[in-house]
Structure 1
Amino acid sequence: MDGLRGRLTADAPLAPLVWFKTGGKADWLFEPADLEDLREFLFRIGGRTPVMPLGLGSNLIVRDGGVPGVVIRLGKAFATVEARRDKVLECGGGASGILVSSRARDAGIAGVEFMRGIPGTVGGFVRMNGGAYGREVADVLIDCDVVMPDGEFVTLPARDLEYTYRHSVLPEGAVVVAARFQGREGIPAEIGEEMDRIAAAREASQPLRTRTGGSTFKNPPGEKAWALVDAAGCRGLTLGGAQVSEKHTNFLINTGDATSADIEGLGEQVREKVYADSGISLEWEIQRVGRP
């Protein structure tokens, strides 16, 4: 750590940093001071140690045995959003979807209102092609800046990410530190109305005020995951302290004393029941990381 300005913590609890509030510790947690600090740190470990970026922890199950290697968490230095005159938004990898859409509204830039409905950071939803309400990152991403696990800095155009539904080809351990999104001319009041509509729709349909992880399963082609889960009789199903939400059946919730094993095990039970009922094998959308 000589000369580095970030904070390195051994055996760092991760449960407080993820929405489910469950899971084990990271072997190491590094919070870089800025881009150069991150690059130097990763250069020093030289790709020899597993690296996992962590954003808001909203779409993540951290298993109870913890996460091997180093977890990277981007702080305020990476949470910037700049609106350019050409209607491009320059965003740090740690900026939230709410911040991006709000800055765009204030600058009269339309086209990214859907990010108001993505519970995560730019780094996470660039990696996973995050989306909501009919739009996704692939529709607006120009390019992104990435630090590879060995410290190499690269700028990748959107086409190189080979986006599909909730997936990109970014390698494991690559940290998205910035991205540029193309918007269009808009009227702030109208943009704000659309953001308010999205926020109200989320509040009405999703269990936002619980310990949850967002959408659990990907929507199969031509189907809705929640409808398949509901039809299989899984609404309200429990395992230990985990429960299938009765408000939105594509959400799992921690009722208070769940372990990550409860949550993941319940998800697998749901997958089995849906397959038995419909013949469709649901794919996890929530990332599951770490040791059992």
Structure 2
Amino acid sequence: MKNLPETRGTLTPNRPMADLSWLRVGGPAEVLFQPADLDDLQSFLQNLPADIPVFPIGVCSNLIIRDGGIRGVVVRMGRGFNGIEILDDTRVRVGCAALDAHVARKAAAAGIDLAFLRTIPGAIGGAVKMNAGCYGVYTADAFVSADAITRDGQRVTLTPDDMGFAYRSTNIPDGMIITSVVLQGIADDPETIEQKMTDALEKREKTQPTKERSCGSTFRNPAGFSSTGRADDTHDLKAWKVIDDAGMRGAMIGGAQMSPMHSNFLINKGGASAADLENLGEEVRKKVFQNSGIELVWEIMRVGEFANE
């Protein structure tokens, strides 16, 4: 790729992406950019030709990267973007690359309850963009503000209104990169928060295939909200229930499988291609629609080009 700006960070052409993906699939990034710091990222975007697409990634925990790879510049946020700063009794400022679980633990040690983040795979940038949540608590519930850089290199601060939070979605424009977030939890005793997180992890171990390669929930719940975790929670319109009703628990294409343990988890049993995973997901959507008339919506993002494009 020509006309790339100078940078203090690292530019790698045709960088294979499979080893950066939790699902271990995907073709190469046309260019992978790892910025040295915030100033480096801003300068790069300001000087990058406007017709070159930009796609930010963290740890790719909610992403199927297609076998043909990703055109344009993939920006991987790493060191320099993973700080966690305790601001006061209830608020923390975290870099976009800070892992959700690390944020939960650091906040808990400071007596701030952000326990819902403990069981969510991935980094804060992705959690904000997708409004990640579990057991009825969402990132939107803790969100105060975010600093971001636009595609043309302008620094902006986003309020909750700017984010347009909805179930598993926001309206952040393509190419905009969240760099840090302020989150607010509830002040509580650190030991109480730790126990809450331990209980959530134990529940997750019993109900989800945590040892498998997966991106967590594959499809949004048709009911339009996450599981609450309460005993009286209805399961009629949960994604796993309509998948079960369509007979797709354990279904396989190549090395891809809908987990026998939790049928809304799409897993790479070994050797799956991105096409195997996406095709199985589409087959599940088709069978569910035929069986119940419900059109499942992907929760996992699928990005890049198909292998034959």
TM-score where L is the length of structure 1: 0.97
Q: Structure 1's 2 and 62: CA in aligned 2 closer, same or farther, altered over 3 A?
A: closer
Task: Give the structure 2 partner of residue 126 of structure 1.
Answer: 128
Alpha carbons 2:64, 2:300 under 8 Å: kept: yes
- Sequence identity of aligned pairs in percent? 45
CA displacement 1:76-132 (0-9 Å, x = unmatched): 21111111224211000100101110111110112x100011111111011111111
Distance in 1 of aligned mates of 2:68 and 2:107: 40
Q: Does 1:71 align with 2:74?
A: yes
In the other structure, the counterpart of 1:255 is 269
- Whether the aligned pair in 1 keeps the contact of 2:6 and 2:44 (CA below 8 Å) is no
8 Å CA contact 1:55, 1:74 repeated in 2? yes
Deviations 1:181-235 (A, max 9, x none): 1122110000000111111122111111112121100001261001110111001
Tell me the residue number matched to 1:43: 46
Aligned counterpart, 2:229: none
Alignment check: 8 A CA contact 1:46 1:149 kept: no
In 1, the alpha carbon distance for the partners of 2:71 and 2:200 equals 37
**Superposed counterparts of 1:72-221, under 5 Å:** 72-110=75-113, 112-221=114-223
Pair 117,47 (structure 1): closer, same or farther in 2 beyond 3 Å? farther
Q: Tell me the SS of whatever aligns to 2:174.
A: coil
Q: Which shows bigger deviation, 218-227 or 256-265?
A: 218-227
Secondary structure of 2:80's counterpart equals helix
Instruction: State the Cα distance separating 1:47 from its structure 2 match.
Output: 3.0
CA-atom RMSD in angstroms: 1.2
Task: Tell me how far apart the structure 2 counterparts of residues 46 and 136 of structure 1 sit (CA, whole Å).
Answer: 36
Contact 1:52/1:173, CA 8 A, preserved across alignment: yes
Q: Which whole-Å CA distance do the structure 2 matches of 1:283 and 1:255 have between them? A: 23
State the AA in 2 paired with 1:281.
E
Residue 32 of structure 1, aligned match among 29, 32, 35: 35
The reply on whether 1:13 has 2:13 as its aligned counterpart is no
Are residues 280 and 2 of structure 1, via their aligned partners in 2, closer, same or farther at CA, if it must alter by over 3 Å? closer
1:116 & 1:247 partners in 2: Cα distance? 21
Question: Could you tell me which amino acid in structure 2 is paired with residue 13 of structure 1?
Answer: P
TM-score, scaled relative to structure 2: 0.92
**1:120-151 deviation digits (Å, cap 9, x = unpaired):** 11110111111112100110100101111111
* Structure 1 position 226 matched with structure 2 position 229: no
Aligned residues: 291
CA distance in structure 2 between the aligned counterparts of 1:96 and 1:2, rounded to whole angstroms: 29
- How far 1:244 moved relative to its partner? 0.8
Partners of 1:18 and 1:87 lie apart in 2 by 33
Quick check: 2:89–2:111 contact (8 Å CA) kept in 1? no
